[in-house]
Amino acid sequence: MDAQDNRPSELHFALVRPPFWSAGILAAVAVLGLVGFSVLDALASPGAARLTGELLGPLLMLAAVALAVTAWMGRRLWVRLRPMPALELLAEGLRAPEHAESRATVLIPYRELLSVAVVGSANNPQLLLETRKRLLTLPFACFASPDGAEQAIAEINRRVMAQPEGRALAELAARRRALAAQALKIRPLVTQSLLGLIVVLFVNQLLTDGMVWPLGPIRWGANLPALVHAGDYFRLVSANFLHAGGLHLVVNGLALWVLGVLMERLLGVTRFVIVYLGAGLAATGASTLFSPGGPSVGASGAIFGLLGAMAWANLRFRTELPLGFRQPLRWWIMILAINAALPIALPLMAVARIDVAAHAGGFVAGILVTALLLPPAAKPRIGVPAGPVLRAVAITLIGIYLVGLGQAVLYAARFSPAESEKVARVLIEDGELEAVALNNLAWLLVTDAETSRPTLELARQAAAQAVAEEPEQAAFIDTLATAHYRLGELDEAVQHERRALELLPDATMASQLFRFLAARVAERGPIDAGGASAAAIGLQLGELGEDGEPQVLHVTLERPVPGGLCAFVLVWRGDEPLGLWRLESGPGSSSSLRFDLSERQGASLAGSRLRRWVGLVDDGPA
C-alpha cells in the first residue's frame, strides 16, 4: 500500500506477442488451401479452358477467402509492428489488452471482475478475466516473465478481495469453478454416440450410391417436401444423419462436438437428448413447410438447436454459468454474422444451398425446449437427475428416431426402378432443382437400361431445362443428346452431340457422336444436312509411311461445293469401331480434296478390313 493515500500501488506486467504461426493462422491457411485445391481440381477438369459459370463460383469463393485470410494476416503483421500493451494494475482497476493480437486496451474496475482464472490446456494455459460484459483471455506465453501470469493472478485476486463486493465475488467464482469441475467429470456419451452414428451412415453413403446427387441421398432418406407430404415421414428423422460431402460432414461434426460436449454437460443426458432430437424434428419440419422443394440433408438443424439452447442458457444464467461455459458477446456477433452471410454468399458463388428454414426451425426449437427444461431454480445445477416425465419424453423421441431410421433402411433396400422413376418425376415436376442437379438426375435416368419411355421423356425435359439454364455446358448438352438417343430421336441426338463436341473436343464426346451417327446410318442412312450428299463423296486412303500406315486421305466429290464441306466419317475395322474423322474444307474448294493423316491418334489404319462410312454431311464454314 502507498502510505500517503492508502491506495494500492501501480504494477505493470510486460507482455509480448504470441508466436505468429498460431493454431488460428494454421487453420486459416488450411481453409485457404482446401478451397484452392477444390478450384485447381475444377480447373484441371475437361473443358476447364473456358471460364464457365461452374468455375466462376469456386474462383470467386477462392478470391473471397484469400482476401479475408490476407487481410487478417496483414492486420496481425501490422499490429506486431508495435509492442504489446502491458497489463497494468492501477488503483481504480486493471488495464489489459482486448486480446493478444490487439493494440487496444480496456480498463476494468476491480469491483466488476467476476472471475480471474486459468483456462485452456496444460500446454497452453490462459488467464481469463471476466466481467458481466466482457471475456478477456491472455495466454501465459504473452507474459515476459516466466512467473508473470501467476503473480498477476495473485495480485488481481488480492485487489478484488479488497473491494466491498470482494467476498461475494470470490464466493461466486468459487461456486462457478466447482460447477465447472463437476461438469468436466461428465463424459459426453450421447454426443459421442451421435457422432459415431453420423460417421457410420456417411461411410454407408460412400460405399453405396448415397453420394450420387440427388437420387442417392433421397434413396437413403434425404428430406424432400413432396415425398414427406406423400407419406414418407421417416425423412424427417433420417435427413438429420445424412451429409452431402466430406466437407459438410467435417463442419457439422466439429460443430456437434463443440456444442454437444458443452450442452450435454450443462443439461444432462436426458435434457440434452430432448433438445437435440426435438430440434432435429423441428428443423426438418420447418424445411418441409417453408423451404424450396429440393432435397436437403445434414445435422445442422439439430446443431442449431444446441446453439439456441446455449443462447438461452447464456441469456438466463449469464454469470452463474460454470466457468468456461459462457460465451462473450463478440463470439455471438461473429457466429450470427457468419450464419446470416452464408445463405446469401454460397448460392451466389454456386457452391451450395443452405436450408435457412431448417436452421431457423432448429434454433427456435432449441431456445423454446431449453426454456422449458431448465430447472426452475435461479442457479444452474450440474447432474440434476431428470424426472419420470422427462425420461418418458426422451425415450419416446429415441423410439421415433429408431423407427424412422429403420424405415429409411427398408426404403433404401426396396428402392426399385419404379420408385426411382416416381422420385424423378417429383423432382422434375417440382421445378426447384438447380441445373447441375437436373443434369445429374437426367443422366442417371438415361443411362439406366430399365428406365421406361415416359420417364425418359421426363429425363429429356430435365436435361433440356439444364441446357436452357447453362447453354455452354458440354456435359449438359451430352446428357440431352443421350436422352434423344434413348428415345429414338437420332437426328436430334446427333445435332446436340455435335454442339457438345464443338464445346468440348475430347474422346468422350467424339465416341458419343460416333455411336449416335452409327445408329442413324444403320436405321435410315447418313444425314445430308448441307449442299452435298453422302452418296456423292468418295474416300480413298493414299500413300503409306515408313510404318505402313496411310498418311493421306483422298476425298472426291461429285461436284465442287461452293460453300465448303463439313463431313463426319465413321471408321471401322471389321465390326470394331475405330473412331470418327471430321473433314472440313473452306469455301470454293475443288471436287478433289486431300487430308493429312500423319498427325492422327489412336488405332492403326493399315489393313484391308478397314471400312469407312460418311455419316453426316453439312455445309462448311461460311
CA pseudo-torsion sign 248, 251, 253, 255: negative
DSSP 52: -
Active-site entry in 243, 359, 484, 496 = 359
User: In sequence order, what are the beta bridge partners of 143?
Assistant: 15
Give CA 300 to chain center in angstroms. Answer: 12
533 classed as catalytic: no
| 296 in Cβ contact with 239 (< 8 Å) | yes
Residue 86 burial (C-beta neighbours within 10 Å; 0-12, 13-18, 19+): middle
126 strand-pairing partners = 119, 139
Sheet with 552-557, strands from edge to edge, namely: 537-541, 552-557, 592-596
- 100 contacts 139 by C-beta, under 8 angstroms: yes
Q: What share of the chain is helix, strand, coil (3-state, %, to 5)?
A: 55, 15, 30
**CA 369 to chain CA centroid, nearest Å:** 29
Grid cell of 416 as nine digits: 426399385
- State the Cα angle at 496 between 460 and 521, rounded to 5°: 105
Total residue length of the chain: 622
Q: Long-range contacts: 533-537, Cβ < 8 Å, 24+?
A: 533/558, 533/617, 534/567, 534/614, 534/615, 534/616, 534/617, 537/567, 537/614, 537/617
> What span, in angstroms and rounded, lies between the C-alpha atoms of 462 and 307?
39
498/121 Cα distance (integer angstroms): 63
* Cα Rg of the chain (Å, integer): 34
Best CA proximity match to 273, nearest among 284, 260, 262, 282: 260
User: Rounded to the nearest 5°, which phi and psi values hold at 612?
Assistant: -130, 135
Other residues' Cβ atoms within 10 Å of the Cβ of residue 540: 11
Q: What's phi and psi for 606, nearest 5 deg?
A: -75, 155
Are 162 and 89 within 8 A, CB to CB?
no
Cell numbers given for 558? 461429285
Active-site annotation holder among 291, 300, 420, 585: 300
CA distance 445 to 423: 11
Residue 537, classed as helix, strand or coil, is: strand
Cα end-to-end distance, the chain, whole Å = 98
Residue with cell 480413298: 540
Active site residue 359: yes
List all residues 6 or more positions away from 555 whose beta carbon is below 8 Å from its beta carbon: 537, 538, 539, 540, 567, 583, 592, 593, 594, 595
Cα-based distances in Å from 450 to 33, 338, 453, 481, 490: 43, 46, 9, 18, 20
DSSP helix/strand/coil, 188: coil
Catalytic positions, written as ranges: 300, 359
